Amino acid sequence: MMTPDTPGPSVSPQPQYVPGQAPPRVIPDAELVWTDEEAAQIETFRAQYPTPDGAVMKTLWLAQRKWGWLPPETMHLVADTLGVPYAKVYGVATFYTQYFKEEKGTFVFDVCTCFSCQVCGGYDMLHYLEDKLGVVKGGTSEDGLFTVQEAECLGACGSAPMLQVTNGPYVHNLTEAKIDQLVDALRQGAELPFESVTLPQDGDEMGGNRRTDAQAVETYQTPPVSDTIH
């Protein structure tokens, strides 16, 4: 039986860190530069805060979007760009779970299993994804496309169970069929639509979703996905 604290073995090989030696570089020096546009963005970030430290989180996000994850050399780049000690940047990057300190698959599935999702079958969805992709949570599939992770509450309890794709779009009201569709769509390179969960009161008073520029999703009125908890 899976338990929440079972560590998942990582499928993709991680660089070996030897104490006393600099870790192997992942990104060559030539690629470790900001484009002019990014440099301008970082200047905007700096202007938004009275101290350069304030811009660290936004610059780390920028780096992660650019390189997909945050190997140490990108943290050094962020520190040098902002004139902030590396230790501070490292401290911030390692504190927050959404900054990836390890290489992940192209798509990262953060499956919410916190209690509202748990009681609606969040673990069933997580295990279904694990079985489907042949990975244990925390690991990456062999083709390097998908990483499956267990996430803490993602703030979509009304449309539980749900998952988030690579710190981006939410996919609500998961079922096994919906996961199948999602994986197929991502394999084919499809853009995920923004799913707007219809407020139940909007459904009654306005006959559906109030946003005309989003893909409406009903909060489901079907029987629960699962009665089991783990």
Residues near other proteins (CB under 8 A): 1, 3-5, 48-58, 60-61, 84, 88, 91-92, 95-99, 110, 113-116, 118-120, 152-160, 164, 167-170, 194, 196-202, 205-206, 210-213, 219, 221, 223-224, 227, 229-230
**Strand pairing category for 107-112 and 170-171:** unpaired
As measured in angstroms, the least distance from the Cβ of 29 to other proteins is 26
Strand ordering across the sheet containing 107-112: 146-151, 107-112, 163-165, 170-171
Q: For residues 27 and 74, is the Cβ–Cβ distance under 8 A?
A: yes
Query: What's the min distance (Å) between Cβ of 142 and other proteins?
Result: 27
Closer Cβ to other proteins, 132 or 214, answer by number: 214
Q: Do 230 and 170 form a contact (C-beta atoms < 8 A)?
A: no
Integer Rg of the chain from CA: 20
Q: Give the residue with the Cβ less far from other proteins, 136 or 216.
A: 216
**Burial of 95: CB neighbours in 10 Å, binned 0-12, 13-18, 19+:** exposed
Smallest distance, other proteins to C-beta of residue 199, A:
6
Q: How far is the CB of 107 from other proteins (least distance, A)?
A: 14
Closest to other proteins by CB, 131 or 152: 152
CB closer to other proteins out of 64 and 132: 64
For other proteins, the closer CB: 24 or 55: 55
48-62 exposure pattern, b = at least 16 Cβ within 10 A, e = fewer: eeeeeeebbbbbbbb
Please state whether beta strands 146-151 and 170-171 pair in parallel, antiparallel, or not at all (unpaired). Answer: unpaired
- Least Cβ distance, residue 183 to other proteins (angstroms): 20
